[in-house]
Amino acid sequence: MLTATGVTKRFGGLTAVDDVDFTVGEGEIVGLIGPNGAGKTTLFNAITGVHPPSEGSITFDGEELVGKKPHEVARQGISRTFQTARTFNELTVLENATVGPMFGRTDSLPREEAEERARTFLEFVDLEDKEDELAGSLTLAERKFLELAKGLGADPNLILVDEIGSGLTPAEVNMISETLIRVRDELGISVLWIEHVVDAIMGTTDRIIVLNQGKKIADGTPTEVQQNSEVVEAYLGEVEA
Ligand SMILES: Nc1ncnc2c1ncn2[C@@H]1O[C@H](COP(=O)(O)OP(=O)(O)OP(=O)(O)O)[C@@H](O)[C@H]1O
Ligand SMILES: [Mg+2]
């Protein structure tokens, strides 16, 4: 579905992503982990056309994404959530959720239809009772779920999720994990998920890709990755300490 080949991103003299190859298959939940500054978010920005790669190719269902603008990538069927939830706090929950369907896959969806879709996904993340509240009045966890609803409303085949669990309690992170499994199972949307909450990602993903200083150092099942000595040294050891 998503295939990245030789993806490199340089910012001046810094190589933030260094010759990375990976795939995300249909129906997969793939974790993307690694220390701070490893290049995880940069890889999301490369996929979505925010900061196109300096070198390499990224295809989605066989179509080259490099060179496409963010809204064109969205139209292709990829949406994302941001590391810092980007809700419009002075707008209502419903208005926020409507942004996804309005600027997603379909051009010029009439407002009522966009709201209808938004309600479907607010219900999916259990926020339907809050649709008239201001997004700014929500808890952090609720804002993260709203961000997810917004992303889902864009009608993606693949959603890129950047640290949706950070700052949440273990119980809230569990809810996020369960919701992402439902995204895959009930909506048929593949998930590429960056997260520092290692337990959540180990228990939920089919496969995990590990970046360290821009390079991919492992790619395998959660068990394989947990047993990989380079990963333990670069990342997991540090997390457990
Ligand atoms: N727009 C940019 N301009 C210059 N340097 C950048 C830019 N974006 C990221 N970087 C640098 O690229 C490197 C990778 O950053 P990135 O945000 O991808 O890391 P990350 O793996 O997402 O880390 P974290 O877990 O802290 O979110 C860092 O050294 C960062 O400072
Ligand atoms: Mg990041």
pLDDT along the chain (241 residues), means of 10: 98 97 97 97 98 98 97 95 88 94 78 93 98 96 96 96 94 97 98 93 96 97 95 79 43
Which pLDDT belongs to residue 100? 84
Q: Say if CB 166 and CB 197 are below 8 A apart.
A: yes
Which pLDDT belongs to residue 102? 83
Residue nearest to atom 8 of ligand 1 (CA): 42
Residue 185 burial (C-beta neighbours within 10 Å; 0-12, 13-18, 19+)? exposed
How do beta strands 29-33 and 78-81 pair? unpaired
**d(CA 162, ligand 2 centre) in Å:** 7
Which pLDDT belongs to residue 241? 43
Q: What are the structural domain ranges in the chain?
A: 27-51+69-240
Hey, what CATH topology would domain 27-51+69-240 get? Rossmann fold (3.40.50)
Q: Say if CB 190 and CB 157 are below 8 A apart.
A: yes
Which atom of ligand 1 is closest in space to residue 83's alpha carbon? Answer: 27
First to last CA, the chain: 36
Q: Say if CB 100 and CB 124 are below 8 A apart.
A: no
Kindly state if the Cβ of 42 falls inside 6 Å of ligand 1. Answer: yes
Residue nearest to atom 6 of ligand 1 (CA): 11
**d(CA 113, ligand 2 centre) in Å:** 33
Which atom of ligand 1 is closest in space to residue 44's alpha carbon? Answer: 18
Sheet holding 63-64, edge to edge: 14-24, 2-11, 55-60, 63-64
Which parts of 8-166 fold into alpha helices (H)? 40-47, 70-76, 93-102, 111-124, 140-153
Which pLDDT belongs to residue 238? 62
pTM (2 d.p.): 0.95
Q: Which long-range contacts (CB under 8 A, 24 or more apart) does 90-93 make?
A: 90/134, 90/135, 90/136, 91/134, 91/135, 92/131, 92/132, 92/133, 92/134, 92/135, 93/122, 93/127, 93/130, 93/131, 93/132, 93/133, 93/134, 93/135, 93/138, 93/146
Which atom of ligand 1 is closest in space to residue 42's alpha carbon? Answer: 18
Kindly state if the Cβ of 212 falls inside 6 Å of ligand 1. Answer: no
Residue nearest to atom 25 of ligand 1 (CA): 36
Kindly state if the Cβ of 11 falls inside 6 Å of ligand 1. Answer: yes
